[in-house]
Amino acid sequence: MPLPPDAVVRLNLGHIWLSEYPLEIPVHGFLIKHPAGAGLVDTGYGTPLELIKDYRPVNASVAAALRRHDVDPSDIRWIINSHLHFDHCGQNAVFPQAPLYVQRAEYERRHRYADTPAAWLEYAGARYELLDGEREIVPGVRVLTTPGHTAGHQSVEVDTTDGPALLTGDACWTARMFEGEAPREGMMEDEAIFGRSLEKMRQLKPATVHFCHDNRTWRTHSGISTGR
């Protein structure tokens, strides 16, 4: 059974400053309200904020964000990390009960990410479920391999009554990028592979596309729409 479109709930998890562009970007995770148990796609950055101070992060508790939607952190049954950069996995430890679904290729590269504190990933009780490719995690929620931003990146497709909802992670940063605007230098590890993953996501003909770093949501009928 497809989920209602509002089963995908954006969580505002602060913002970070990218000094190389320079650019301030929002950071989002997503709650998926699913009859088999609620899940999360990405968990934002963690604490202490001092560890990533060059990014000028603000306090952003995923637990508080969930409670604003009447969900207790202990209700989360599964987590998908699109990739293991610091702003997507920083609060995994808030959910000791939940398996963490990550591509094996991504997990094995985690030490290359100098900005991701090891303690945010490797803590007592962390339960990684390493994936070798695409998989349905719970009925109607699938991970898709979308390399380019990182080699082990994955995105998430959710069946909704409106059609597919796509959560790109950082495979595509913004609604404008989804419509063809080129990424800026350094946003993707491999731009040619990014292009192939973007085309793969477009071929899914999503009804809705949600972004981790854009307050807008892309919708098939109206193109870019202003987010909440």
| Binding region for Zn ion (CB under 5 A) | 87, 170
Q: Is 1 exposed, middle or buried (0-12, 13-18, 19+ CB in 10 A)?
A: exposed
106 vs 170, which CB is nearer to Zn ion? Answer: 170
- What single letter denotes the amino acid at residue 164? P
DSSP 74: G
CB of 94 to Zn ion, least distance (A): 18
CA dist., res. 103 & res. 108, Å (int): 9
CB of 26 to Zn ion, least distance (A): 10
3 vs 100, which CB is nearer to Zn ion? Answer: 100
170 vs 214, which CB is nearer to Zn ion? Answer: 170
CB of 35 to Zn ion, least distance (A): 29
CA dist., res. 158 & res. 90, Å (int): 23
7 vs 177, which CB is nearer to Zn ion? Answer: 177
CB of 125 to Zn ion, least distance (A): 25
Considering Cα of 112, then 169, then 89, then 36, what sign does the dihedral take? negative
